Amino acid sequence: MADGVETTAYLVNHSRARRPDLALDPFAESWIPGSERSAVRELWEGFARTVYEHDDLVVSLRCRAISDALEETLEAHPDAVLLTCGAGFASYPWLFRFTDVVEVDLPDMIAAKSARAAELQEQGVLPERRVTYLAADLSDAAQRRDVITTTTRIAAGRPVVYLAEGFVFYLPLEDCRATVTLGAEIPHLERTVVTYWESENPVLARQRKWFQQQGIPDDASYLSRADLAGLLGTSISFSSVDDLQRRYLGSVEIEEATELIPEHVAVADR
Ligand SMILES: C[S@@+](CC[C@H](N)C(=O)[O-])C[C@H]1O[C@@H](n2cnc3c(N)ncnc32)[C@H](O)[C@@H]1O
């Protein structure tokens, strides 16, 4: 298993795999090879005991909201290309039929994802898709530029959807802001979908301590709705976890303010 901030990709994938009813991601359970599954389960259970036991709810809700936002864009632009940064083990390239996908993450994560995707495709678990894997550290301006250049070349004038799920808060503030707006420099960007934290709450405070114990960097960058509107424009919608619970579960079952990681989803259109 990868270590450092990449560990979080294993954690959130397990969260999706626990809630196939809500995440609607049938591939989540296959991403982790059999030899690593018990280690990932133990990691998740330790996280649940120490930080909070509802990561499966929060991650599956955000996956569902993102899936809806991607599906809507594909309906309007069937030739769309997806750029997904901090891709981790997310399954969107195989859940939807984008004409091309660019998946970006840190080098160890890209190695793990591309190798496992090839295995799963060979086994017939994943459908065939055209995916370009790009290793890049998004806290580095030159590497962000490479992502823009590569995606622009691959998209070749087709509409682009840009997704940054579950990681911009791990970047230093200036890099966080630059990563949120990275898609703006790609021609024909139609939609940006970003998940972000507005401020610390008791669960994030516990997560910070757990990260320290696991050797995961614990610095965080926060963004307000006004920041995001300033960065992405005013054609933007925001969903809190409570909003997503109301949308997909019919009511708020667990209060975000004190009991959940307060990860919000912003969807901005051109
Ligand atoms: C919580 S995981 C989310 C993964 C995926 N988006 C999902 O929701 O399942 C955070 C991901 O961001 C990636 N990441 C963190 N810092 C990064 C950086 N500086 N550059 C590129 N990727 C980064 C990690 O490697 C990890 O895969």
51 Cα: distance to centroid of ligand 1 (angstroms) = 19
pLDDT(8) > 80: yes
φ, ψ of residue 82 in degrees (nearest 5)? -105, 130
> Which is it for the CA torsion 245, 253, 240, 102, positive or negative?
negative
pLDDT for 183-202, tens place per residue? 999 999 999 999 999 999 99
Give the full edge-to-edge strand order of the sheet including 131-135: 131-135, 100-105, 81-85, 160-164, 189-197, 263-269, 236-239
Look at ligand 1, atom 10, and give the residue with the nearest C-alpha.
Answer: 167
pLDDT tens for residues 211-253? 999 999 999 999 999 999 999 999 999 999 999 999 999 999 9
Contact 74, 97 (CB under 8 A): yes
Per-residue DSSP letter, 251 = S
Please state whether 88 falls in left (phi above 0), alpha (psi between -120 and 50) or beta: left
d(CA 88, CA 105) in angstroms, rounded, equals: 7
Q: Is there an atom of ligand 1 within 6 Å of 88 CB?
A: yes
Token pair belonging to 78: 């069937």
* Percent of the chain whose pLDDT exceeds 70: 99
Q: Look at ligand 1, atom 12, and give the residue with the nearest C-alpha.
A: 86
Q: Is 199 helix (H, G, I), strand (E, B) or coil?
A: coil
Within the chain, residue ranges assigned H as helices are 7-18, 20-23, 28-31, 34-50, 55-76, 92-95, 107-122, 141-155, 173-180, 202-214, 225-232, 241-249, 256-259
- For 236, phi then psi, to 5°, come to -140, 145
Give yes or no for a contact between 62 and 24, defined as CB atoms under 8 angstroms apart: no
Q: Torsion-angle region of residue 11: left (phi > 0), alpha (psi -120 to 50) or beta? A: alpha
Per-residue pLDDT band at 4 (split at 50, 70, 90): confident
Helix (H) or strand (E) holding 160: strand 160-164
Ligand 1 centroid to 102 CA: how many Å?
A: 14
Whether residue 19 is predicted with pLDDT greater than 80 in this model: the reply is yes
Determine which of 118-122, 161-165, 213-217, 221-225 has the lowest per-residue pLDDT on average: 213-217
Mutate to test the pocket of ligand 1, among 137, 140, 167 (most ligand atoms within 8 A of CB): 167
Six token digits for residue 256: 């975000």
Question: Strand, helix or coil at 166?
Answer: coil
What domains sit in the chain, N to C, each tagged with a CATH number? 4-269 (3.40.50.150)
Distances (CA, A) of 125 to 84, 154, 252: 21, 26, 35
Stretch 80-108: mean pLDDT, rounded? 98
For residue 3, what pLDDT is reported? 72
What spacing in Å lies between the alpha carbon of 61 and ligand 1's midpoint?
A: 18
pLDDT at 6: 86
Mean pLDDT for all residues in the chain? 97
Task: Report which protein residue has its CA nearest ligand 1's atom 14.
Answer: 86
d(CA 171, CA 176): 5
Q: Is the pLDDT score of 158 beyond 90?
A: yes
Write the pLDDT tens digit of every residue in 37-75: 999 999 999 999 999 999 999 999 999 999 999 999 999
Rounded to whole angstroms, what are the CA distances from 201 to 1, 166, 189? Answer: 29, 17, 33
Residue 167 Cβ inside 6 Å of ligand 1? The answer reads: yes
- At residue 79 the predicted structure's pLDDT band, cuts being 50, 70 and 90, is very high
Of the pLDDT bands very low, low, confident and very high (cuts 50, 70, 90), residue 1 is low
Q: Is pLDDT above 90 for 114?
A: yes
Alpha-carbon Rg for the chain in angstroms: 17
How close is the Cα of 122 to the center of ligand 1, in Å? 25
Give yes or no for residue 156 having a pLDDT over 90: yes
For the entire predicted model, the pTM comes to 0.97
